[in-house]
Amino acid sequence: MVDRKDKAKDEAKKQYLDDIDEQYGLKPLSLGYFGGFIDFYRSHGLIVNVTVIVNKKSLRKNGLDTTKIYDTRDWSNIEAWARQLVTLASKQ
């Protein structure tokens, strides 16, 4: 059973992608939204590093353990989406 939080997250992801499409006039064959990776002790580029440093206290307050590495990517999901994209592209 999908709870309201998961449904709201899915709707927010879709809206984010729809907004990007509209902003840049894109017409993608398929959209995929996949989790990310963050290691608080590894450099992810200046902007991300500054954002993390500035928000670390807030992140901890909200229950995020900044001593851990987070990898929310689902590689089987990503691979399935890529296979679907190949099929769609071959029909174009």
Q: Are residues 53 and 28 in the same domain?
A: no
Q: Are residues 23 and 39 in the same domain?
A: no
Q: Are residues 9 and 20 in the same domain?
A: yes
* Total number of domains constituting the chain: 2
49 part of a folded domain: yes
13 part of a folded domain: yes
Buried b (16+ CB within 10 A) or exposed e, 21-34: eeeeeeeeeeeeee
- Look at residue 4 in the predicted model and tell me its pLDDT: 65
- Look at residue 40 in the predicted model and tell me its pLDDT: 80
14 part of a folded domain: yes
- Look at residue 1 in the predicted model and tell me its pLDDT: 46
- Look at residue 25 in the predicted model and tell me its pLDDT: 93
For residue 3, pLDDT over 80 is answered with: no
Q: Are residues 19 and 48 in the same domain?
A: no
Residues 13, 14, 19, 24, CA torsion sign: positive
- Look at residue 50 in the predicted model and tell me its pLDDT: 84
- Look at residue 88 in the predicted model and tell me its pLDDT: 92
Q: pLDDT tens for residues 22-71?
A: 999 998 888 888 888 888 887 778 887 788 788 888 888 888 888 888 89
